[in-house]
């Protein structure tokens, strides 16, 4: 039996009017500028640790974002995923986990790959000051153009996985 691998190339527009090529393969979408591939876990909501484990089981990690262009690319994938149309008790439950965490609560944010968070897209007032480590996980909220916030890690949200190049 012959297995045929189809590789589709698309052109998408960013909010800056630029165009970025992307490749879709096995449910992952590759950002050709960096070679990193992304998948929105839209099948069910998971807490941050379960989302991290699911990404690892798929050969990746929760997404880390290193530039505004990369984040704009991922936001397009989030919009295309349909998760904002899912029925939810509260709109915040249609948010997504990203790979950032701050377990010390000292605003020393790290990605799941251990690198420091250098690019950010925090919502106004974020990251909020907290004293309980339950609030140490990063999420993106669709009602505020996918701005980032500090979230309660046990809350179940959707997630974005990344397979680094």
Q: Flag whether pLDDT at 2 surpasses 50.
A: no
pLDDT of residue 13: 37
Q: Tell me the domain boundaries of the chain.
A: 38-123+132-163
Name the percent of the chain lying above pLDDT 70: 82
> Does the bond joining 127 to the residue before it have cis omega, within 30 degrees of 0?
yes
Query: Residue 5 has what pLDDT?
Result: 28
CB atoms within 10 A of CB 143: 12
The candidate with the shortest Cα–Cα distance to 63, out of 143, 133, 119, 17, is 119
Q: What is the mean pLDDT of the chain?
A: 84
- CA-based nearest residue to 157, from 103, 89, 76: 89
Tokens encoding 100: 């950032």
Tell me the C-alpha to C-alpha distance, in Å, between residue 10 and each of 13, 17, 23, 78, 106: 10, 15, 7, 16, 41
CA distance 95 to 83: 8
Q: Lowest-confidence range among 81-90, 121-130, 137-146? A: 81-90
What distance in Å separates the CA atoms of residue 148 and residue 130, rounded to the nearest whole number?
15
Q: What is the pLDDT of residue 132?
A: 93
Please give the average per-residue pLDDT across 116-138, as a whole number.
95
Per-residue confidence at 91, pLDDT binned at 50, 70, 90? low
Whether the Cβ atoms of residue 92 and residue 83 lie closer than 8 Å to each other:
no
The predicted model gives 79-96 an average pLDDT of: 81
pLDDT tens for residues 3-57? 322 223 333 333 333 334 555 555 789 998 989 999 999 999 999 999 999 999 9
Tell me how far apart the alpha carbons of residues 139 and 129 are, in angstroms, rounded to a whole number.
15
CATH architecture of the domain 38-123+132-163 equals Roll (3.10)
Rounded to 5, what percent of the chain is helix, strand, coil? 20, 35, 45
């Amino acid at each position: 039996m012959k297995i045929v691998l189809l590789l589709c190339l698309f052109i998408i527009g960013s909010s800056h009017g630029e165009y970025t090529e992307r490749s879709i393969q096995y449910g992952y979408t590759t950002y050709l500028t960096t070679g990193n591939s992304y998948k929105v876990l839209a099948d069910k909501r998971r807490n941050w640790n379960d989302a991290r484990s699911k990404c690892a089981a798929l050969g990746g990690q929760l997404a880390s974002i290193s530039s505004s262009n990369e984040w704009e690319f991922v936001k397009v994938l989030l919009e295309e995923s349909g998760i904002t149309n899912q029925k939810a008790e509260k709109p915040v439950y249609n948010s997504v986990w990203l790979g950032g965490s701050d377990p010390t609560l000292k605003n020393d944010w790290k990605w799941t790959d251990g690198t420091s968070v250098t690019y950010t897209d925090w919502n106004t007032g974020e990251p909020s000051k907290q004293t309980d480590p339950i609030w140490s996980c990063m999420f993106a909220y669709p009602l505020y153009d996918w701005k980032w916030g500090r979230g309660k890690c046990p809350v179940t949200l959707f997630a974005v996985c990344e397979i680094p190049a």
